[in-house]
Amino acid sequence: MMGPAHSLSGAAAWLGVGAAAAATGHTMPWPVLLTGALICAGAALAPDLDHKSATISRAFGPLSRTLCGIVDALSYAVYKITKSKKDPRRTGGHRTLTHTWFWAVLMGAGSSALAVEGGRWAVLGLLFVHLVLAVEGLLWRAARVSSDVLVWLLGATSAWILAGVLDQPGNGAHWLFTDPETAYAWIGLPIVLGALVHDIGDALTVSGCPILWPIPIAGKRWYPIGPPSVMRFRAGSWVELKILMPAFMLAGGVGGAAALNLI
């Protein structure tokens, strides 16, 4: 799928988690619901770090373009080292390492550890990165015609404001993890979820997605998981634009309302 659909699906997924939490009597504080949805929207772009032409490659200028090139090379190297005889030859690393459950869990766990150990500045850094990505994904048309600096300023300002709100007692810095020394340990959850939602979205396209690597399936370690071929679509096709994106918006709206106990 394309960037906007990935980000919408990420936000909708976290709002759905909020609805489930409310249904079980563990309602999220509204700052956690909002911040988690934005982080998840940004994280839903992150697996495309292995793609030099993806939305994320433009998000931070030369820095992100360079990082995408490095991750692409790393992913390709891992593919060549671990592929089985039945896995096809490739010329690049797109839709390999960063499109697996392993990468999603690694990024989420690493982010949680960084937030807990690094304190406020680490949290601000994580919020800034993912809020910039959320702007690039959710507001991609506006982001493309705006100056990169304006997008970065919006991300930085939003990160500072949201961190200040979350730090207030009862607003969610200690949501789910009540130990005073584990503030923001939950921040890895929307990052894991965003990456997995991205992978599931890509699995619906004609190329599939090797989400379960390195578990061998049909003799392939990089087996492209997906539904039957007749149910798949091409990235950017009318199915994505006319059906899935409106569905994500509707699901997100319903999930958000349920998460806030409005319905």
pLDDT in tens, the chain (263 residues): 788 899 999 999 999 999 999 998 888 999 999 999 999 999 999 999 998 878 888 889 899 999 999 999 999 999 999 999 999 998 888 999 999 999 999 999 999 999 999 989 999 999 999 999 999 888 866 656 567 788 899 999 999 999 999 999 888 888 888 777 888 999 999 999 999 999 999 999 988 999 999 999 999 999 999 998 888 888 778 888 889 999 999 999 999 999 998 88
CA pair distance 254, 252, nearest whole angstrom:
6
Q: Is 262 left (phi over 0), alpha (psi -120 to 50) or beta?
A: alpha
> How is residue 236 written in tokens?
């950017």
pTM for this entry? 0.92
CA pair distance 118, 105, nearest whole angstrom:
19
C-alpha distances out from residue 19 to 32, 77, 80, 216, Å: 12, 40, 42, 35
> How is residue 171 written in tokens?
């607003």
